[in-house]
Amino acid sequence: MVNTNLIDTGIKVIDTSLKTLFKVNQTTRPYPAANLTEPRLTSFEQKHAAGYMRVNHAGEIAAQALYQGQQITARDLSIKQTMQEAGDEEIDHLVWCEQRLQELGSHTSYLAPLWFTGAFIIGTIAGIAGDKWSLGFLAETEKQVVEHLDGHLTGLPEHDTKSRAIVGQMREDEQKHAETAIAEGAAKLPKPIRHLMKLTAKIMTKTAYLV
């Protein structure tokens, strides 16, 4: 018998993946920086803010891919649903970062397909490991993202209120995603895995800041 759930998930995953890579996503919530005036930034500040927002955009590409990989391999239907809902919320982040990059006169990472492919493979492996590990991976990812966004809130130009508003809202959402994963039974990942995740994220953020 054909597994219709698997087909449904597969179609949704392909749809989301194509929309992510070809930038045709639509947000469900308003742009956090919509009512703020464009700050006067020096060219250095503008480049630096763009570097940060490009890193965040790359991170959101990776988040989409992780969630897709985890969703397709999740065993429990409710976990599949959690991955899908969290992934949908991340679409807002993706679009907001892209919009801010345009306002800053910059571009998204040229390596987006690479971030997507790598994260999709990692998400699939996490899903195959089992739901509690997949949730654990999600919780740890979001925890590390929150720490990373805290760093951006410190490092962004003080008067770039637009970028700050976006990053602030994203931080709030990521914190919520981590809490949801823990509430649904996330297992704590072994230390070497957590370190490996940090190392991988470091390589990605350093590269995406530049290209």
Residue with Cβ nearer Fe ion (41 or 149): 149
- Write the DSSP string, 75-98: SSHHHHHHHHHHHHHHHHHHHHHH
Q: How far is CA 107 from CA 110, 114, 190, in A?
A: 8, 16, 36
Residue with Cβ nearer Fe ion (90 or 140): 90
Residue with Cβ nearer Fe ion (13 or 91): 91
**Span near Fe ion by CB under 5 A; candidates 91-99, 112-120, 122-130, 199-207:** 91-99
The Cα 90–Cα 179 span in angstroms is 15
Do residues 39 and 111 touch, judged by C-beta distance below 8 A?
no
The interface mask with Fe ion, positions 175-194, x = CB under 5 A, is --x-----------------
Give, rounded to a whole angstrom, the gap between the first and last alpha carbons of the chain.
47
User: Could you say whether residue 90 binds Fe ion (CB under 5 A)?
Assistant: yes
Of residues 54, 57, 93, 164, which one binds Fe ion by CB under 5 A? 93
User: Could you say whether residue 48 binds Fe ion (CB under 5 A)?
Assistant: no
Residue numbers of the site for Fe ion (CB under 5 A)?
A: 90, 93, 174, 177
